[in-house]
Amino acid sequence: MLTSGIDIRPSTTDNVGLFATEPVPAGTVVWLPCAKCPTWSADELGAVPAERFGLLDKYGHLLEDGSLLLPCMGAFLMNHSCAANVLDTGLDFGVAVRDIAPGEEVTCDYATFTADIGWSMECNCRTSECRGTITTEQGHDPALRARLMDRIDRILPRVGAVDQPLHDVVSAVSPAYARLRQGADSVAADGGGTTVCAPSFMPR
Ligand SMILES: [Zn+2]
Ligand SMILES: [Zn+2]
């Protein structure tokens, strides 16, 4: 699921990307894996023709149970940036970590899709923080995780304060979100094991 006020436009990063058409305040839940996102089980993935698998591998993300989820409402078109304005480390949703202005591209950090073992790509984000090659291994790196978590921690109090277009959807599936809306300023209560790679609505 993807929040409102976001459009698909040409991007210098990868052909097309997602761009804000309205201000997206820091603390807004921008996307989350939800029950409406199409999924493929590990067995179904094994039977997908190679060409189609290439597309799913590019746009979907693998979950911890080996299935693949394609973020719905066009959220799968969100590009990577090494200075992403949407992050999900330690969360089961992606949150705006700074104010995003209309016309700005909305980006996340692909290193956080840690269940996709061995995946990598050359980055074209052109930011001063660019890591060059992006790998899912980087998502396990304590130094990078700490840097991303620090950006998230600073805006967590705002999750409970800003208008949330996705409130009904995310409150139904994310205990971390529910705690933040109740005034918690951290999501560490569950040990920080929450991730977009193991959404709570998926059967365990
Ligand atoms: Zn969805
Ligand atoms: Zn980069």
Residue 204 lies in a domain: no
The number of domains in the chain is 1
Residue 16, Cβ neighbours under 10 Å: how many? 13
List pLDDT tens digits, range 85-95.
Answer: 999 998 999 99
Distance 9 CA to ligand 1 centre (A): 20
Quote the ligand 2 centre to 81 CA distance (angstroms): 5
Mean pLDDT score, 56-82: 95
> What is the percent of the chain with per-residue pLDDT over 90, rounded to a whole number?
85
Contact 1, 34 (CB under 8 A): yes
Distance 128 CA to ligand 1 centre (A): 32
What domain range includes position 107? 6-37+72-190
CATH number of the domain to which 129 belongs? 2.170.270.10
Cα(147) to ligand 2 centroid in Å equals: 15
pLDDT category at 191 given cuts 50, 70, 90 is very low
| Nearest bound ligand to the CA of residue 31 | 1
Whether 60 is covered by a domain: the verdict is no
Name the helix (H) or strand (E) containing 18. strand 15-20
Expressed in angstroms, the distance from the first to the final Cα of the chain is: 21
Å from CA of 165 to ligand 1 middle: 14
Tell me how far the alpha carbon of residue 129 lies from the centroid of ligand 2, in angstroms.
7
Q: Is residue 135 part of a domain?
A: yes
pLDDT confidence tier of residue 200, bands split at 50, 70 and 90:
confident
Q: Would you mind telling me the total number of residues written for the chain in this entry?
A: 204
pLDDT of residue 16: 96
pLDDT digits (tens, 9 = 90+) for 169-183: 999 999 899 999 998
**Residue 132 Cα, ligand 2 centroid: separation in angstroms?**
6
| Domain assignment of residue 203, yes or no | no
Quote the percentage of the chain above a pLDDT of 70.
Answer: 97
Beta carbons within 10 angstroms of residue 153's beta carbon: 17
Beta pairing partners, 120:
135
Q: How would you classify residue 71: left for phi > 0, otherwise alpha for psi between -120 and 50, otherwise beta?
A: beta
- How far apart are the CA of 140 and the centre of ligand 2, in A? 17
Residue 183 in domain: yes
What is the side-by-side order of every strand in the sheet holding 39-40? 39-40, 68-69, 61-62
Q: Is residue 65 part of a domain?
A: no
Q: How far is the CA of 38 from the centre of ligand 1 (A)?
A: 7
- Determine, yes or no, domain membership for 63: no
pLDDT at residue 4 tops 90: yes
Side chain identity at 64, as an amino acid letter? E
Within a domain: 116:
yes
